[in-house]
Structure formats: C-alpha cells, structure tokens
Chains A and B, each alone.
Chain A
Amino acid sequence: MISRRDYARPGAVVADAAPARRAGRRLWAEAEALLWVGPAFLYLAFFIAYPFVMSIYLSLSSARVGSPDWHYVGFTNFQRLFEDPVFWQTVRNSFIFTFGSEAIRLVIGLPLAFALNRSFKGKRLVQGVILIPFVIPIALSSLAWKWMFDSLYSVINWMLMTLHIIDYPWQWLGEPGLAMWAVIILNVWRGFPFSAVVLLAGLTAVPVEVIEAAKIDGAGPLRRFVYVVAPIVRPILFVGLLYSIVFSFTDFSAVWLLTQGGPYNTTHVFGTYAYNVGINAGDIGQGAAITLFMFPLLAVFVVIMLRGLRRE
C-alpha cells in the first residue's frame, strides 16, 4: 500500500503511477504547502524584506521627513558619516555597551546558575522572581533606574555614600564615563536573568554521573568546571550568548530612555544615533545609512548561528 507520506515526498518512487501523474502530484504538494506557509511569507516579504531593501535605497538618497522627492545621491551619506566624529564615537560606544554588558552578565549569571542548579524549597518562586527584570517592559523599568540615577535624589548615591564607598554624589547620567556605566548597569540588570536561565539549561544538561566520576578521579571543583562542565555547557551557552549579543547590539530603548545618547554623545549606540539623525533631525537618508552599519556584525553572527543549526 502506498501511504500518503510517500507521495508527498518529492522523488519518492511510486511504481504504478504514470510520470505525468507524479508530476501533477508534486505540483499539488507545492501548491498545498504554499497555501499553508504563503500568508506568513507574504507578510514577512512586505514588512521585513521590502523595508530592508528600502533602507539600502534610502541610504543612497536625500530622503527627508516630510519631503516627498528623494534623489539618488550615491554614497554621500556614507561619506558624511565617515567624516562625522560622533558616528565613530557611536561605533565605539556600541561595542563597549554590547560586550561590556555581556561580560558582566556572564560573570554575574554563572554563580546564579550554580545557585539555582540544586533543589530547595521555593525554587520555582525564586526562579520566577529572578526573571522579572527580563519580563517587565524595559521602557517602564528604565524609568525606575532613571529615578535611581537622578542627579539630586539618587538613592544609589545615598546608599554608596552611607556605606562610605563614595564621598560625594556621582552624576550618573551627566558625566561621560559614568553615563556609559549607567546604561550598562541597566542593560545587565535587564539581561542577566536570561543569561542565568541559559546557563542553567546548560548545567542541567550535565549528567550527575559524569560529575561524580570526575570527583572519584580526584578532580577539584575548578578542574571539574573547566574540564567537565564547561565543554558540555559550551554549545548551549554559545547560542544563548549570540542571541544576547545581537539584542544588546541593536538595542534602542534602554539607552534612549536613560540618556538619549548623552552627555556629549558618549552613550549613543547605532539605534539611538540613527533615531536622532533620521527622525529628530529629519535626515532619513543619513539615518538609514547609520542603521545599515549594524548589518555586517549581525551577518557575522547569523552565519555562525546557521552553521550551528546545520550541525544539529
């Protein structure tokens, strides 16, 4: 008997069917599949692929907010960017923001994952609470941080001064170097629960027997971690890390709401600078050129991820 599955599979050999009928069925399989996946791809073509191509076109044009006539201007927008010191600062900021946040998230997330990787009463509740910063809209929680970093009434300053860690109130959002720390702190706070959950998922994948065996062989905690746990956790961590990096690198709201890129452009990242130039200053062409600079790094990450996916 021929099961349905066989003639849905292109290239399946169906002995008694005429070639024409087989081709017809294959065509029908294609058409039927299109019926299922078509709407999604039509939508994505119009709202992701088309705008993406359009942003390349915009970056080569003199498009401005409110003016209907765009002219092709070649690479003028890119030329202007290369001569713009704020743009180079934005590039540097984006990398510091992304990789600084990521490093701290991991350093903070790892002990947390270990602490969560055992059974205790109320574990589910604790896990739920830890994830809250990741769930609450960043726009809303960033307001709390903006208030805690306030120039006059910062509660963080109050705590640090009471503990004699600092001896005058720091201007978290007003001083160039500190402002970058402030946006990184917010980004770490928002993202470390995700890092911890990913690490935890990795740790639970380590079989207890393997750890026990290493213990019996006389490996201490550090060696167990480096030689036994880390290699098993690595692939999971790797994918989680890439996701996390992509989202930090393309972030807009955390930086926008805390500093709007200031003071003196020292916290601008690609997203915020593009918004400032493209919407606030109305220079859509120039803004589009800025956003396109996110693409090379994204592409590198995507290639790495696709390789990982294919290996599975």
Chain B
Amino acid sequence: MTRSALWRRIKRDYGPYLPLSPYLFVVLFPFYWMVITTFKRDNDLYNLTGVPFWFKEPPTLSHIQLLLHDTMFVTWLWNSLFIGVVVVAITLLIGLPAAYGLARMRFVGNHTMSTAMFLSYLIPPALLFLPLSQVVRKIGFTDSIWSLILVYPSFTIPFCTWLLMGFVRTVPAEIEESAQLDGCTRFQTFRLIVIPVIVPGIITAGIFAFTLTYQEFIYALTFVSASANKTIAYGVTTDLIRGDVFYWGSLMAGALIGAVPVAIVYAFSLDHFIHGLTAGALK
C-alpha cells in the first residue's frame, strides 16, 4: 500500500475522531485525575518522583473510608437529593400552570408577565444573596435546609416556565378547543390533553430543575452553616479542608461520588438535556 493510500484510509476511518481527541482529553483528564487521586495512598500522592499517572503503591480505600466515617458526607448527599426532589416538585406545581396560562390564555398583562418571567431568570443569585439572607432570617429559616427549599425555586421556576411555554405552544389549539366544546373545563383540558402531550417537556424541565438545584453554591454557603444542613457541593468543599490541610484523597472521592447522581440523571436523559439546552437558550 502506498503512503498516500494509507493516509487516505486513516482519514476515512479516523477522520472525524482526530479533531475530537484533544477535546476529549481536556474534558476527561480532570475526572481521570480525580479517580486516580481517590485511590492513591497518601505516600503515593505526595511522591514527586516518577510518572504520576498511575499507582506506584497498591491502591487504597482509606480516603473513601475517611469521607464516609469522619465527615457527614452521607447526610450532605441525602440533603442534596431531598432538596432537589422537593424543589422539582414545587417548580412543576407552580411552573406548569404558569406556563400554560402564559402560552395559551389571552388576558391583559400577558405580554408583560411573559417578559417578567424571562427577566427574572437573568437576575443572578450573586445579586440577590445578601437581601435574601435577610429574608431567610426574618422568616426564621436560618441555618436550615428549608431556607434552600424556599429560595431555590427562584431560579428554577423562571427557567422551567420559559422552557415549558415552548412545549405548550406545540400542542395544537384545535384539539383543546374541541375538548372544551365537548364540555371539558379548562382544568380538564389541561390535565387530559395538554399534560400528556408535553410529558417530554416536563421531564426536561424536571431534569434542569434538579441539576440547577444540585449545583447551587452561593445560597447554601450564605444561609447554612451547620455541617448537618450542608448540601453536597458545599459540604465537600468546606469540611475536608481543615486549616491549611487539604485532604486531597477524600476531597476527590467526595467530588467524584457527589457527581454520580447528576451523571446518572444526565446519562438517562441526554437527548432531553441537549434539546432543553438549545431550546432554553434560543427560544
């Protein structure tokens, strides 16, 4: 085989993958490094001789043990999952009717309200955390996961409502009208006709509400201080750094295990996710 023929063959078989490989390396290396660090012995971690990419001593589970036994990791994980599920429920309960109302009903102020919904998504937590800390204090939820459950819908409701409005608009108005002519009330139409059609949208909104909630950091950092009330993103980043000592093995273990729930949700809903991402950004 001549060289040019070989080159052509390589280009045919691997062409699409070649330009992608540096990206995959950059994306995945930090995770590889987390895994390696999680299982390396301390001696091995802090041994500067030789190639660091593989084990020089047998792997260990001691970092994971420290994480599970000497910190409140399991509680943080539970807090995050609990907050996530409750916030998803609240978001859909409030956001679904709002999306339907804004997308379908004609009333004075509809346009203004749709715009306001869009704007509230763009007001970031970094702008609101100080006054909200006062609100939380006044309500009496200081240092409690309920403060987070109360506040997190402030970013999930605008995003999910906006997303759901797009899905509601795809339901043909004629079906709804004929159902109403047949004697369905507005609510029955919503429940029996609209909801079943926009199930993919509801799933997408739920996924986004969950991941946004699970990622949140500044509100948790501001409102909560007791270890038992921390979320995973907050607990792992604070409780494994004692003074100047970083427990790197356990830190990486916590970050890795903490990322698993999101990774699972994501893996099972990749198409919904990508669709929601482009729809949320571009509609």
Q: Which residues of A contact B (CB under 8 A)?
A: 3-5, 8-10, 29-30, 32-34, 36-37, 39-41, 43-44, 47-52, 54-55, 58, 63, 111-112, 114-116, 118, 120, 123-124, 126-133, 135-145, 147-148, 150, 152-153, 155, 158, 189, 193-194, 197-198, 201, 236, 239-240, 243, 246-247, 250-253, 256-257, 270-271, 274-275, 278-279, 284, 287-288, 291-292, 294-295, 298, 301-302, 305-306, 309
Contact = CB atoms under 8 A, between A and B. Distances in A.
A250 B33 contact: no
Contact of A306 (B30, B115, B134, B234): B115
A155 B130 contact: no
Given A51-B135, A126-B20, A148-B30, A40 B263 contact: no
Given A40-B157, A112-B23, A143-B237, A55 B180 contact: no
B281 A243 contact: yes
Interface of B: 16-17, 19-20, 23-24, 26-28, 30-31, 33-34, 37, 45-46, 48, 52, 94-95, 97-98, 100-102, 105-108, 110, 113, 115-120, 122-135, 150-151, 153-154, 157-158, 161, 173, 177, 180-181, 186, 211, 214-215, 217-218, 221-222, 232-234, 236-237, 246, 248, 251-252, 254-256, 258-259, 262-263, 266-267, 270, 273-274, 277-278, 281-282
Given A128-B270, A130-B27, A29 B106 contact: yes
Contact of A136 (B33, B110, B125, B263): B263
A239 B52 CA distance: 42
Contacts of A124: 270
A48 B116 CA distance: 11
A294 B129 CA distance: 13
Given A55-B127, A136-B263, A143-B252, 13 more contacts: A30-B108, A33-B101, A36-B105, A40-B97, A47-B135, A52-B123, A115-B19, A130-B23, A140-B236, A197-B274, A239-B282, A251-B126, A284-B133
Given A137-B233, A250-B124, A309-B118, A197 B277 contact: yes
A291 B251 contact: no
B259 A137 contact: yes
Nearest to B267: A128
B101 A36 contact: yes
Contacts, number: 280
Contacts of A133: 27, 30
Contacts of A298: 122-124, 127
A257 B241 CA distance: 12
Contacts of B236: 139-140, 143
